[in-house]
């Protein structure tokens, strides 16, 4: 079954697949965090509409224009400070507890899945709030980076442990993601344009069904069993209602 069904038929099909699947993995992108107040990258209000990623999110930006690089990531960290995981993050963590989801693979660097209570999380693009020295790799407290300090050990430039353009993805996170996704019976892809390589290849590496939940169309939608055009938080709440047969708002049984 391909393409999009009427909304409620698609949602109940996905709820059935979630109940029946013995290994479900969720791949998320920046669209999973916009309802927490964090901009994504490529939609109309995204970061890359305001600034060229190569000027701030690349190794040459770090090496040749450190003040702009540091300013961009300090601003990203400040934004993160006031954000909370939303209902959708909490539902995914609940589904891990109930054995519905076995792993989350995320392109996000905001740590919101872990803050919501998810434990099995592979961070393909690293983490914004983990700081290290670009020269010697020594870790440093976030405050040191926010204050503009240099590495205490070698005087090198401090940076978030995110994967910049042109950098390799962390080996263990990538391996874990490929293992989990290739074996999955069901893969939910939520809130990503699938434009960044190699994460964009993961949905094509599974033996299972792929369901895309995204606000906008992506170039790979046609490859997936089902596409739900909608918001991550709302869609996850609708699926939770179908799975538990109860209304989230008032908690009453249907």
Q: Does 161 bind Zn ion (CB under 5 A)?
A: no
Give yes or no for residue 51 binding Zn ion (CB under 5 A): no
Residue 59 binds: one of Zn ion, ligand BV8, none (C-beta under 5 to 8 A by kind) = none
Gyration radius (Cα) of the chain, Å: 19
Helix (H) or strand (E) holding 234: helix 232-244
Confirm whether 176 is a catalytic residue: no
Please, which residues have CB within 8 angstroms of residue 104's CB and are 6 or more apart in sequence?
25, 26, 27, 28, 92, 96, 113, 118, 120, 121, 122
Q: CA 40 to CA 108: how far, in whole Å?
A: 10
- Which of Zn ion, ligand BV8, none sits in contact with 133, Cβ below 5 to 8 A by type? Zn ion
- 208: which 2 tokens? 């299972």
Does 41 contact ligand BV8 by CB under 6 A? yes
Please state the φ and ψ torsions of residue 188, each to the nearest 5 degrees. -95, 125
Integer Cα distance of 170 and 122 in angstroms:
10
By the 8 A CB rule, do 68 and 51 touch?
no
Which of 105, 184, 196, 226 touches ligand BV8 (CB under 6 A)?
196
Contact partner at residue 31 from Zn ion, ligand BV8, none, CB < 5 to 8 Å by partner kind: ligand BV8
x/- contact string, 82-121, with ligand BV8 (CB under 6 A)? -------------------------xxx------------
Stretch that binds ligand BV8, among 32-40, 172-180, 219-227, 236-244 (CB under 6 A): 32-40
Q: Which range, of 19-27, 96-104, 175-183, 209-217, touches ligand BV8 by CB under 6 A?
A: 209-217
The Cα 115–Cα 132 span in angstroms is: 21
Q: Does 226 bind ligand BV8 (CB under 6 A)?
A: no
Among 1, 6, 172, 197, interactor with ligand BV8 by CB under 6 A:
197
Residue 185: helix, strand or coil by DSSP?
Answer: coil
Asked if residue 125 binds ligand BV8 (CB under 6 A), the reply is yes
Task: Determine the Cα–Cα distance for residues 209 and 187; give it in Å rounded to an integer.
Answer: 6
By the rule CB under 6 A, 192 interacts with ligand BV8: yes
191 binds ligand BV8 (CB under 6 A): yes
**Catalytic site positions:** 125
């Amino acid at each position: 079954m391909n393409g999009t069904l009427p909304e409620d038929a698609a949602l109940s099909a996905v709820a059935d697949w979630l109940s029946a699947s013995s290994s479900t993995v969720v791949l998320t992108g920046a669209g999973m965090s916009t309802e927490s107040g964090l901009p994504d990258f490529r939609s109309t209000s995204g970061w890359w509409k305001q600034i060229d990623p190569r000027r701030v999110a690349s190794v040459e930006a770090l090496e040749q224009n450190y003040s702009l690089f540091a300013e961009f990531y300090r601003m990203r960290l400040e934004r993160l400070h006031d954000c909370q995981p939303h209902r959708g993050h909490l539902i995914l963590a609940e589904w891990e507890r109930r054995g519905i989801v076995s792993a989350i693979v995320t392109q996000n660097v905001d740590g919101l899945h872990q803050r919501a209570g998810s434990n099995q999380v592979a961070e393909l693009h690293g983490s914004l709030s983990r700081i290290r020295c670009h020269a010697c790799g020594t870790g440093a407290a976030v405050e040191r980076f926010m204050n503009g300090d240099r590495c205490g050990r070698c005087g090198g430039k401090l940076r978030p442990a995110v994967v910049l353009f042109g950098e390799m993805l962390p080996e263990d996170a990538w391996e874990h993601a490929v293992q989990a996704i290739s074996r999955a019976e069901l893969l939910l892809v939520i809130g990503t344009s699938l434009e960044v390589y190699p994460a964009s290849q993961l949905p094509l590496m599974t033996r299972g069904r792929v369901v895309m939940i995204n606000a906008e169309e992506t170039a790979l939608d046609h490859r997936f069993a089902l596409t739900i055009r909608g918001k991550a938080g709302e869609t996850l709440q609708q699926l939770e209602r179908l799975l538990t047969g109860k209304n989230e708002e008032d908690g009453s049984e249907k």
